[in-house]
Amino acid sequence: MQNLLITGGSGFIGSNFIQYILRDSGFQGRVVNVDNLTYAGNPENLTGIEDAFHNQYIFIRSDIRDLGAIRDIFQEFDIDAVCHFAAESHVDRSIMEPDAFIQTNIVGTFNLLECARIHQGQITLFHHVSTDEVFGSLGETGFFTEATAYSPNSPYSASKAASDHLVRAYFKTYGLPVTISNCSNNYGPYQFPEKLIPLMILNALEGKPLPVYGDGKNIRDWLYVKDHCIAIWEIMRHGRKGETYNIGGRNEMENIRIVEMICDNLDQMIPPEDRSSRRELITFVKDRPGHDRRYAIDCTKISNELGWTPVETFETGICKTIQWYLDHTEWVERVKTGEYQNWIKKQYG
């Protein structure tokens, strides 16, 4: 991998991945970050990268839905590997505006696959980053494995399931060298504030209500974003072509318990002036349609084949995450107010 195309590299997981491979992994090739800088794409997530790695890092604002633009990027930069993060990724948004999810997650993935197929002689790997939501909902026991049947329940998860199937089909039909990873819920630095954990952190700091869907007992497996980045890089370097790898944090947690932990940690770190508990801000709201009850990932395969296991427990990861948001209030404010979008418009038009 000498010329690695990373799609969605200015988003939450993508920017953490670029930070990891350039700063920590020893990668000596070139990273071409293609991001359309929609609401969740933020160049500030990669502040300092272009200066520190000016010989290795290139940013291009482009849309994976534009086949011609993506074809030109493959040609101009001699792309020989792809790590595909770019996606519309918020379930609530997919319920309200499913069109964007179909166009970006399905058509955009198809465009990338087509460009990779055209350049198949030089493509060493197409890695597709997906989600455990494609598997649907679990009961009280059991785990998602790589053999679990797909059963998506939201427009978001259905669009990701479709893109997974496309990637697998290009391996089976055209022999394109691919790998796929399905991860559990990520959290950590640079996550957009609409997601559960940053939303609860920021609302709790401001004394705002902490909205929890339903009874709060929906369960997710939580994966610290740097652990996820390390896992992806292991798959890209050592995973078997055509294979899928589940990446989980081994941290099953009820939503209500997460919110309570955030409140308790913040109460210790920044005690409320009235000495009350931030748990009093918790507000139960109407459950969202199609809300899966439980996700849990079995990551035995990646552990056995590639030796990867998560480093962070939820307790250590949530402390690091809360501290990051406390230390980066300017980033938070610019994201919440949309000021960063004004900068993008001035910079890129």
Which tens digit of pLDDT belongs to each residue from 245-266? 999 999 999 999 999 999 999 9
Strand order in the sheet with 81-84: 57-61, 30-35, 3-7, 81-84, 125-131, 178-183, 244-247
pLDDT tens digits along 272-287: 888 789 999 999 999 9
Which pLDDT band holds residue 338 (cuts at 50, 70, 90)? confident
What average pLDDT does range 60-81 have in this prediction?
98
The predicted structure's pLDDT at residue 2: 96
Domains of the chain plus CATH, in order, are 3-191+223-252+292-314 (3.40.50.720)
pLDDT tens digits along 286-321: 998 888 899 899 999 999 999 999 999 999 999 999
- The percent of residues above 90 in pLDDT, for the chain, comes to 88
The predicted structure's pLDDT at residue 93: 87
Dist CA 240 CA 229 (whole Å): 18
Chain length of the chain: 349
What average pLDDT does range 173-192 have in this prediction?
97
Dist CA 184 CA 37 (whole Å): 24
Residue 349 has pLDDT above 70, yes or no: no
Structure tokens at 237: 């370097």
Looking at per-residue pLDDT, the higher value among 78 and 89 belongs to: 78
pLDDT tens digits along 92-125: 889 999 999 999 999 999 999 999 999 999 999 9
Dist CA 23 CA 255 (whole Å): 33
The predicted structure's pLDDT at residue 340: 83
Active site residues: 132-133, 156
The predicted structure's pLDDT at residue 189: 97
Q: Which residues face 5 on adjacent strands?
A: 32, 82
8 A C-beta contact, residue 226 and residue 296: no
The predicted structure's pLDDT at residue 134: 96
The predicted structure's pLDDT at residue 4: 98
Q: Which residues face 297 on adjacent strands?
A: 144
Which pLDDT band holds residue 344 (cuts at 50, 70, 90)? confident
Dist CA 7 CA 62 (whole Å): 9
Which pLDDT band holds residue 206 (cuts at 50, 70, 90)? very high
Which pLDDT band holds residue 39 (cuts at 50, 70, 90)? confident
- Mean pLDDT over each residue of the chain, to the nearest integer: 95
Dist CA 175 CA 171 (whole Å): 4
Nearest CA among 249, 280, 21 for reference residue 127: 21
Residue 90 has pLDDT above 80, yes or no: no
Give pTM, 2 decimals: 0.95
Q: Determine how many CB atoms are found less than 10 A away from the CB of residue 271.
A: 11
